[in-house]
Structure 1
Amino acid sequence: MNAVDFILAGMLAAATPMLLAALGEMVVERSGVLNLGLEGMMALGAALGFITTYSTGSHALGFVVAALGGAALSLLFALIVLGFVANQVAAGLAIGILGTGLSSLFGKNFESLTIDGLPKLALPGLSDLPVVGVLFVQDAVVWATAVLALAIWAVMTHSKLGLIIRAVGENPHAARAIGFGVLRVRCGAIAFGGALAGIAGAYASTVYTPLWADGMIAGRGWIALALVVFGTWMTGRVVFGAVLFGALSLGELTTQAAGVNIPSQLLACVPYVVTILMLAVISSNRRRMRLNTIASLGQPFER
């Protein structure tokens, strides 16, 4: 397999953890809440997912437990920012630290243990195409994530639920005046985002690299947050950003395999540097950012 085939074959799987977390965070931010605790929720999901899958042999159960763990941690965040009207930035950072610490605590007895990943599923016909055929040989979670992205796009742009979420994010007081439960909508969005973050972490620890290592999320939660801004809160752009980052993250392996004498630490920095540069370019277009930014994002809502 040459470098191009390797990147095409692996970039969707590499993108999946960040994409799942970013899709959930996009919904949360569309409701007007900024959740900076994604890294901790992903870390907790990674630990719970691996422990459950290792102990039971069931990937499905591992994902369920990871989703519940991520949702539970996100509901704690919701209690703090919605119930006690705390600062969302401070609360999110605290929740992120808590989740990371819990993942280390729960996973300490499973360090370096491995499990079997999920088998690849080829799409008939498409997987036989020259060059790009390898794109269509992926595990079930990758395909499910693609369907989920389409579903979220459809719901957010073409359904009453999506309209309510967007209304709550843009003007919560007006939304409440016409009968929408602002806190209920935001709490549901936060729980949904936390569940997806937990699943994202479980995918990283049970499928993408099916082993447990403390700190294995390695900043993916922060990248997911950046992807939401990169995508200007639009599903298609978020998907594109995640796939681009996934492809860049594989560049380190392909460059080393080609025998290029560049320090691995420098190569590992490339995806993050590119992300920062892209965010800087996007943020420089102030008109575009103003048009797409959620009006009440990060602002407390008091009845």
Structure 2
Amino acid sequence: MSGLDLPGDLGLWSVLLAVIGGAIRVSTPFLFVSLGETITERSGRINLGLEGTLVFGAMSAYATAVLTGSAWAGVAVAGLSGGLFGLLHGWICRLPRVNDVALGIALMLFGSGLAFFFGKAFIQPSAPQLPAIPFGNWSDLAQVRAALQINVLFLIGAALSVFLWWALRNTRIGLVVRIVGDSTDAARAMGYDVDRVRLLATGAGGVLAGIGGAYLSLYYPGSWNEGISSGQGLMAVALVVFARWNPLACFGAALLFGGAGALGPALQSVGVSSGYYLFYAAPYVLTLGVLIATSSPNHALAGAPGELGQAK
């Protein structure tokens, strides 16, 4: 037994381990949605409808897993449904005088409403869960094993953040997305179809948001209900601003938001019976703080795509 594996009460170390484990679990939907929104916003478009995409992805993944007996089939269907929502958003945005933000809010309500309607039959049935890798089996402590029980989608999301960071800087596709997001006129002068690039970028963002929803229903919390998202899709948009449209920074920011979301349950797990519930609001307070800190009427945000939020 190692020096860390001492029996007995771990005290404050239990809180730290619970926050670390919770950050890993809670951060995964934030990570996938923020990476998807980073792709979309790098092309010069904002998609606030990802909250509805996340919820519909969670429902479609759970329903598919129940009907097929395969959690990975649920992930695939969630990604497909998210991609369709993204393409719908991108296609409508090509029309004259369509506002990205207003359309995103409409599609957020549309996606959530569809999920609630079609998902009522799947609230009770049990679906197979996504696998997790027990990185903590070397320890005799249950807290360590629980903290290091890491889902495969988290590892995929971490690898994807590194890949997207590299791809946006070093590939032709990444360069095209960045040019379209920074200057529509320059992109058109170079012969690029701006609408097509943004359509595909919005579709790709929807795919990742749908997969984030699959994680919610098929692993943590691992069930389908109408309140499953708790606004994580909208918070992830603020996370993208906080990360300065950098996929690698999105990974760290997602862990930060995930840790904030895990703080309340961590305190409850070690026997704090008074006031712990206030910490359940930590992700929302953090989101509000990010929006206030990054808002300025006089200065553009560092790293912001030049065309982002421009009126058509």
- Is TM-score (shorter-chain normalized) higher than 0.5? yes
Partner of 2:129: 117
1:191 to 171, 181, 203: 203
Farther-moved stretch of structure 1 (78-87 vs 260-269): 260-269
- Name the SS of the counterpart of 1:117 in structure 2: coil
Q: Alpha-carbon deviation of 1:203?
A: 0.8
Q: How does 1:61-210 map to 2 (within 5 A)?
A: 61-122=73-134, 128=138, 137-210=149-222
| Deviation of 1:198 (Å) | 0.7
Does the 8 A contact of 2:70 with 2:128 survive in 1? no
Q: Aligned-pair RMSD on alpha carbons?
A: 2.4
Does the Cα contact within 8 Å between 1:116 and 1:210 map onto a contact in 2?
no
Change (3 A) 1:285 1:147: farther
CA distance in 2, matches of 1:264, 1:214: 24
Greater share of helix residues, 1 or 2?
1
One-letter code of the match for 1:258? V
How far apart are residue 9 of structure 1 and its match? Answer: 2.3
Q: Is the 8 A contact 2:24 2:258 kept in 1?
A: yes
Give the one of 276, 279, 292 matched to 2:303.
292
Count of residues in correspondence between the two structures:
298
Q: Equivalents in 2 of 1:219, 1:190: separation in Å?
A: 20
Note the C-alpha offset of 1:253. 0.8
Q: How far 1:42 sits from its partner (Å)?
A: 0.4
Q: How far has the Cα of 1:84 moved from its partner?
A: 4.2
What TM-score results when the alignment is normalised by the length of structure 1? Answer: 0.90
Whichever residue aligns with residue 175 of structure 1, its letter is A
Identify if the C-alpha distance between structure 1 residues 278 and 207 changes in structure 2 by more than 3 Å, giving closer, same or farther: same
Unmatched segments (≥5 aa) in structure 1: none
SS at match of 1:290: coil
SS at match of 1:138: strand
The residue type paired with residue 288 of structure 2 is I
Of 276, 280, 294, 2:292 maps to 280
Q: Separation in 1 of the partners of 2:193 and 2:234?
A: 30
Moved more, 5-14 or 54-63: 5-14
1:291 partner SS: coil
8 Å contact from structure 2 (residues 244, 302) kept in 1? no
Question: In structure 2, do the counterparts of structure 1 residues 225 and 127 end up closer, same or farther at CA, with 3 Å as the change threshold?
Answer: farther
Q: Percent identity?
A: 35
Residue 258 (structure 1) aligned to one of 259, 270, 273: 270
Query: Following superposition of structure 1 onto structure 2, how do residues 220-231 of structure 1 map, counting pairs within 5 Å?
Result: 220-231=232-243
